[in-house]
Structures are given as structure tokens and as C-alpha cells.
């Protein structure tokens, strides 16, 4: 059973994790949302302490489909520190994909062990690994082996993102992960079954912190796994309040970034200043143009339709927003977007 599985490795590297402020703020990995272009816009208007890429299939990265997936691992120097997130149910796929992550000079690798998406679980990754703890540790071991660069000896840190259980709260699962002495563990405070249908269980965070300190009592406080809380955090101030109340080291924000690439603008001071409709529309247009230029050329990396989930978030909260949003839902290019928006600026 879970409690009888031993640690994979005694003391993995920490690197950038050791120098982060408290609490620190990180951006969640979201497929077709936190792509390199959206992160570029975010970097310009308000950078988090750590970026995550979109979550990417390790199996796909080592297959004939690698070329199609590599754009998901593109990043810009100003985004550092940046962590690549991979998912798989196959240790060998993870090992080879981790080698690629190391070659691409990422600052860290994160393993997705919590995604509730059925397609991800069908491949044995994401939340499915909570039901197979032995396999989860094999994948962690493979990742740690893969990131040890044979070229320059660099060994980037491997972290994990998970949930508090599959069908029900399972702190034995969290205990197991804490035994691995990870540099960082992100805990989405809901079960797989709960999806996002109930409020996140932030009241469980103190118990997770207590478990961390108990399990890692042989380590100095500065060497213990950093715990990142995730769930229902949409503002910096809310994140600060939760970190202060429940004791986690960092806060991960996901849906709060939709339509607000400036969210982390004043991350060390407080919430970003509200943006006027005109400012929001200018940034929307900038985002759309960058997206089209980077992804919608001859190679057709991504469909322009992906931008429409951003349009819904950018355009809200003022008179006429609903009507403009409806018009944006039928555009086919950045040029169409500009025709609609330019007269309003």
C-alpha cells in the first residue's frame, strides 16, 4: 500500500526555488491558455515569480508528433524562472521527454499528477496516477534521471502538481509525495471527483504543512518542500490572505489570469490597478496580433479560434461589452478584431 512505498531519492536539487520570496506567486499550467504568446503578454504587463508552460504530453514529445508539440515548450528569456509541465503514464516516455526539457534549458520540470481531464487520464497521466502510486514514483524517478544533463552536468529540479485525492480526500497520497523531498509540491485543494464544483478545501492546508514538517523533520526548514496552494484564488490580495492564514509558501493562480495579463503587475505590493475598457481592448488587440503572427501562419500551429476564450474574459464589465463580445465571437483574424476595436480606442 501507499504507506509502504519508500522515497525515490534523498535530496534532489532546489536551485531557483530556494531564492523565492514568501509568499511567492506562480502561474498555473493551462492547455491552450498559458501558451508562449499569452505568457509574453503577461511578462510585459506583470510577471509572476514563476511561470509554468502549458501541460504537454511526454508521450507526444517523443513520438512523430514532436514537431507539433514543441511550440508548447517555447519560452522567452524574460520569463525565467520557467517550469515545463509534462504528463504521462509511461516512465520511459517521461525519461526521454525530461531529457528534452533539460536540453531546452528550462529552470525546472513539473509532473502533472492531478489533471482531471479524461483524455489525460486515459493515457495514464494526471489524476490517474493517484490510483497507481507505485507507477507515480517510477515516473518521478524517470524524470529525475532524465533531467540530469549528460552535456553539462546540470540537474534541474523536478516538482509535482496534484490534488488532495481521487474520489475522496487521501492524505496518504500527499504523505507519499512529501516523502520524496521534492523542491516544491503544488496542491489543488479539491479531489479529482470534485473537479471545480465545490469550494477549494483551504482548511486542509495546515494539515498538509504539518505533515511536511513532520515527514521532513531531518531537513533544515529552508530545505523542506515548498507547498504551493491552488484553488479559488483570483487576486493577489486573496492569495496573500490565504498564505498568511493557512501557512503555505506559495500561491498558484489559474483562472484569475483570464482577461487580466496584468494580474501580477504589483505582485510584491498588492492587487494590480483596474484597467479601463480602452486599456483592456488595447491589450486584447496586442494579444490577438501576436497570437496570429506566431501561430496562424503557413505552419498553422494553433487555430485563431483559441483566442476567443480570451476575448470573453477581456471584454466584460462595462456598457456595450456584451454586444462587442458577441461580435468578437465570429471574427476570423486579428485584422477583423482591429476593425471592431479601433473605433473604440
- Give the side-chain half-sphere CA count within 13 A for 298: 0
Distance in angstroms (rounded) separating the CA atoms of residues 231 and 208: 15
The one catalytic residue among 26, 73, 115, 251: 115
Nearest to 187 by CA among 120, 217, 197, 173: 173
DSSP for 58-85 reads HHHHTSTTHHHHGGGG---GGG-SEEEE
Nearest to 8 by CA among 112, 188, 144: 144
Distance in angstroms (rounded) separating the CA atoms of residues 183 and 220: 13
296 included as an active-site residue: no
Contact between 35 and 72 (Cβ < 8 Å): yes
CA dihedral 307, 312, 313, 314 (to 10 degrees): 80
**Sheet of strand 82-87, all strands in order from the earlier edge strand to the far edge:** 24-27, 250-253, 226-230, 184-188, 158-163, 108-113, 82-87, 51-57
Nearest to 185 by CA among 6, 2, 12: 12
Active site positions, annotated: 115
Amino acid at each position: 500500500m501507499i504507506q509502504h512505498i519508500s522515497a525515490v531519492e534523498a535530496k534532489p536539487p532546489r536551485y531557483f526555488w530556494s531564492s523565492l520570496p514568501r509568499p511567492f506567486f506562480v502561474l498555473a499550467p493551462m492547455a491552450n491558455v498559458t501558451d508562449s504568446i499569452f505568457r509574453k503578454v503577461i511578462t510585459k504587463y506583470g510577471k509572476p515569480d514563476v511561470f509554468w508552460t502549458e501541460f504537454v504530453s511526454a508521450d507526444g514529445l517523443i513520438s512523430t508528433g514532436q514537431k507539433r508539440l514543441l511550440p508548447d515548450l517555447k519560452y522567452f528569456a524574460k520569463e525565467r524562472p520557467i517550469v515545463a509541465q509534462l504528463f504521462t503514464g509511461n516512465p520511459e516516455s517521461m525519461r526521454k521527454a525530461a531529457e528534452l526539457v533539460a536540453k531546452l534549458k528550462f529552470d525546472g520540470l513539473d509532473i502533472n499528477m492531478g489533471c482531471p481531464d479524461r483524455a489525460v487520464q486515459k493515457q495514464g497521466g494526471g489524476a490517474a496516477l493517484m490510483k497507481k502510486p507505485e507507477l507515480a514514483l517510477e515516473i518521478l524517478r524517470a524524470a529525475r534521471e532524465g533531467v540530469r544533463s549528460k552535456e553539462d552536468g546540470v540537474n534541474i529540479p523536478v516538482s509535482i502538481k496534484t490534488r488532495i485525492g481521487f474520489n475522496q480526500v487521501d492524505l496518504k497520497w500527499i504523505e507519499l509525495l512529501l516523502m520524496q523531498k521534492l523542491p516544491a509540491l503544488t496542491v489543488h485543494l479539491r479531489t479529482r471527483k470534485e473537479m471545480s464544483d465545490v469550494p477549494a478545501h483551504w482548511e486542509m492546508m495546515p494539515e498538509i504543512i504539518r505533515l511536511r514538517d513532520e515527514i521532513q523533520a531531518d531537513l533544515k526548514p529552508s530545505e523542506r518542500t515548498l507547498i504551493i496552494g491552488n484553488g479559488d484564488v483570483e487576486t493577489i490580495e486573496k492569495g496573500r490572505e490565504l498564505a498568511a492564514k493557512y501557512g503555505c509558501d506559495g500561491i498558484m493562480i489559474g483562472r484569475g489570469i483570464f482577461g487580466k495579463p496584468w494580474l501580477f503587475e504589483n505582485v510584491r505590493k498588492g492587487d494590480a490597478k483596474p484597467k479601463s475598457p480602452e486599456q483592456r481592448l488595447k491589450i486584447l488587440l496586442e494579444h490577438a496580433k501576436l497570437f496570429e503572427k506566431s501561430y496562424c501562419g503557413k505552419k498553422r500551429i494553433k487555430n485563431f479560434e483559441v483566442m476567443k476564450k480570451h476575448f470573453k474574459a477581456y471584454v466584460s464589465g462595462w456598457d456595450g461589452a456584451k454586444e462587442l463580445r458577441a461580435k468578437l465571437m465570429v471574427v476570423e483574424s486579428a485584422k477583423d478584431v482591429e476593425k471592431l476595436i479601433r473605433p473604440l480606442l
